[in-house]
Amino acid sequence: MKNEIKIFSPGTVANVACGYDVLGFCLDSVGDEMVVRKTTEKGLKITKIEGHDLPFDIDKNVAGVSALALYEDAQPDCGFEIEIYKGIKPGSGIGSSSASAAGSVFALNALLNSPYNKTELTRFAMKGEALASQGEHADNIAPVLFGGFTLVKGIDPLEIISIPTPKELYATILHPQIEIKTADSRAILPEMVPLKDAIKQWANLGSLVHALHTEDYDLICHSLQDIIVEPYRSKLIPYFNEVMLASHNAGALGGSISGSGPSIFALSKGQHKAKEVEQAMRNAYSKSEIEFQTYVSTINTEGIKILSS
């Protein structure tokens, strides 16, 4: 029997331009690590948090809340202690809370010999995510647990679809070190949108799903447009247009805001191109006074990885 597991729980990009609230993909080069171990004493404890300052209280920590949802459902004859090594900065827009929320339930499930499937784990993780985003969403959680590109068709009932990942697709992320409150980035969106814009958006999402199936990079390029959400949210991100233009000029297929921002993502064909795009995005953002980080990543088709158990 395994008593301890160490995992890597990756960052994710939600929305992916035309897929607001439903589409996401999984990163590989940025994420959290977590160690979870069984204890004879019942209950859950967070025993260590490194990397960022987060609450140890189970009820106030997203990893704690999601783990508790699974724990109360499973009612095992043991307890668990959780160590969190945050690699993703909270509020970055690349799924920090989802990595924590999904990571703890994945680890508990593994130590309990996997009684739950990925969709059930998503449901537990959504409880943790809700603590961070005031609402149950799965568009960042699904790619952490399923890997690759995921489409959350609906959350009640929860239906998650794995979309194929073209082999040469790479992501470049630029994370400006500013804070955008999720509440603000939601409040800025209109309740009503023009039907003609919605039509363009679903045409783009339909063609993006087709392009991912057929590895059609030109069509991925033409489909990565967000005319509904980006025009509003991009105003909250200084130098957004400059970064997008730079990535476009460097040959990226396209990009947009990652999740609710402030991170910006671009997709490229091939690692070499993704690195050129990274350099172009860095050059563009250097003109601002804002500190930033960048990442280049494969699309992680596996999701959470077990580092040791």
**Footprint of a copy of itself (CB under 8 A):** 18-23, 151-154, 159, 161, 163, 189-196, 198-210, 213, 219, 222-223, 228
Q: Is 39 a catalytic residue?
A: no
Angle between helices 96-111 and 118-133 (to 10 degrees): 140
Burial code (b: 16+ CB inside 10 Å, e: under 16) for 158-182 equals bebebbebbeebbbbbbbbebebeb
- Residues facing 266 on adjacent strands: 172, 255
Min CB(3)–a copy of itself separation in Å: 40
Length, in residues, of the chain: 309
Q: Is 129 a catalytic residue?
A: yes
Min CB(156)–a copy of itself separation in Å: 11
What does each C-alpha distance from 85 to 54, 63, 165, 238, 260 come to in angstroms? Answer: 11, 12, 28, 29, 23
Min CB(232)–a copy of itself separation in Å: 11
Measured CA to CA, the distance from residue 303 to residue 305 in angstroms comes to 6
Measured CA to CA, the distance from residue 211 to residue 231 in angstroms comes to 24
Catalytic residue among 150, 165, 172, 182: 182
E strand or H helix that includes residue 145: helix 141-146
Phi, psi for residue 245 in degrees, rounded to 5: -65, -45
With tokens 């999740």, the residue in question is 259
From first CA to last CA, the distance across the chain in angstroms is: 10
The two structure tokens encoding residue 8: 């890597």
Catalytic residue among 33, 129, 230, 276: 129
In terms of CB distance, is 213 or 235 closer to a copy of itself?
213
In terms of CB distance, is 26 or 35 closer to a copy of itself?
26
In terms of CB distance, is 69 or 163 closer to a copy of itself?
163
Min CB(161)–a copy of itself separation in Å: 6
Min CB(209)–a copy of itself separation in Å: 4
In terms of CB distance, is 111 or 229 closer to a copy of itself?
229
In terms of CB distance, is 189 or 307 closer to a copy of itself?
189
Catalytic residue positions? Answer: 129, 182
